[in-house]
Amino acid sequence: MLRAERITVDFGGVRAVAGVDLEVGAKEMLGLVGPNGSGKTTLLNAVCGVVTARGALTVDGQRVRLSRPAATRAAGIARVFQAPQIFDELSCLENVLLSSPDGRLVGLVGAVAARPAMHRRERRREEAALRAMTTVGLAEFAHTSSKTLSYGQRRLLELARALAAEPKVLLLDEPSAGLNDAETAQLAQLLRETRDAGLAVVVVDHKIDFLDSLCDRLVVLELGKVIAQGPPDEVWRHQQVINAYLGVAGNA
């Protein structure tokens, strides 16, 4: 579903991501792990177009231009960031609707000449948003101010916003951060259902148990390079991974 090849990101004289290849298929959950500063978030930023990057990116066989957020959204890539990007002055439903902005049939022409078509399009957008809110268990809060939500509910609202865009690829950066055990378990189940519905999912998270129980494969980064990849139980036995996390050399 998603293939990223030779992805490279430079910040001044610092190479944050150095020629990384990443591939994830439909109905696959890929975990992206590594020590702090290894380039995980930067790689996600490169894939979703919010930082300048070099390399090649395809989604469902179609080439996608890097460094163009609109191009990656149009290709079907949705992103959930580390901190909830919620607008407190909007209702929960309005926040979710932000995932699918539609500038067609608006303005004077839309208001006068294409009103029925405009209303049909808006109803479809609202129905998609409500389906996404139902999926994450927030339908009852649709018309509630988002500022009344708990932190865990705000994380779920961001997930709903991503799902409402009906993506092919979902990128999540630290989705379990700040969640308690029950909320983390709920999130894991939602992500499994999302994967099983046909999405390719890439998850960055520091909760190793969470990733091990969730992911089909792990890719480990260190200093912007891939040092290991494979099933979780194999990856954590890899000596270079042990060294990267512990900061010490292991036995040969």
Q: Which of 165, 121, 120, 160 is nearest to 142 (CA)?
A: 160
Cα–Cα distances (Å) from 26 to 30, 62, 76, 195, 231, in that order, read 11, 14, 12, 8, 17
Delimit the domains of the chain by residue range: 2-76+167-246, 89-151
**Which candidate, 19, 13, 14, places its Cα nearest to that of 46?**
19
Average confidence score pLDDT of the chain: 90
3-state helix, strand, coil in the chain (%, to 5): 40, 25, 35
At 116 the pLDDT is: 66
Residue 202 banded pLDDT, cuts 50, 70, 90? very high
Q: Is 0.85 surpassed by the pTM of this model? A: yes
Beta carbons of 147 and 69 less than 8 angstroms apart = no
Task: Tell me if residue 132 falls in helix, strand or coil.
Answer: helix
pLDDT tens-place string over residues 119-136:
677 888 899 999 999 999
Q: What pLDDT, in 10s, does the model give residues 14-40?
A: 999 999 999 999 999 999 999 999 999
Sheet of strand 217-222, all strands in order from the earlier edge strand to the far edge: 77-80, 169-173, 200-204, 28-33, 217-222, 225-230
The arithmetic mean of pLDDT across residues 172-179, rounded, is: 93
The pLDDT value recorded for residue 119 is 67
Measured CA to CA, the distance from residue 147 to residue 30 in angstroms comes to 32
Q: Grade residue 251 by pLDDT with cuts at 50, 70 and 90.
A: very low
Q: In whole angstroms, give the CA distance from residue 108 to residue 190.
A: 41
The pLDDT of 224-247, averaged and rounded, is: 91
Residue 181's identity, in one-letter code, is D
**Range 227-244 average pLDDT:** 93
Q: Tell me what pLDDT residue 161 has.
A: 95
Q: In CATH, what is the architecture of 2-76+167-246?
A: 3-Layer(aba) Sandwich (3.40)
Residue 170 has pLDDT above 70, yes or no: yes
Q: What is the pLDDT of residues 87-113, one digit of tens each?
A: 999 999 999 998 765 555 555 555 555
Half-sphere exposure of 79 (CA within 13 A, CB side): 21
Between these two residues, 54 and 103, which has the higher pLDDT value?
A: 54
CA distance 101 to 119: 14
Confidence of residue 195 (pLDDT cuts 50, 70, 90): very high
| pLDDT at position 95 | 95
Rounded to whole angstroms, the Cα distance separating 115 from 100 reads 19
Confidence of residue 247 (pLDDT cuts 50, 70, 90): low
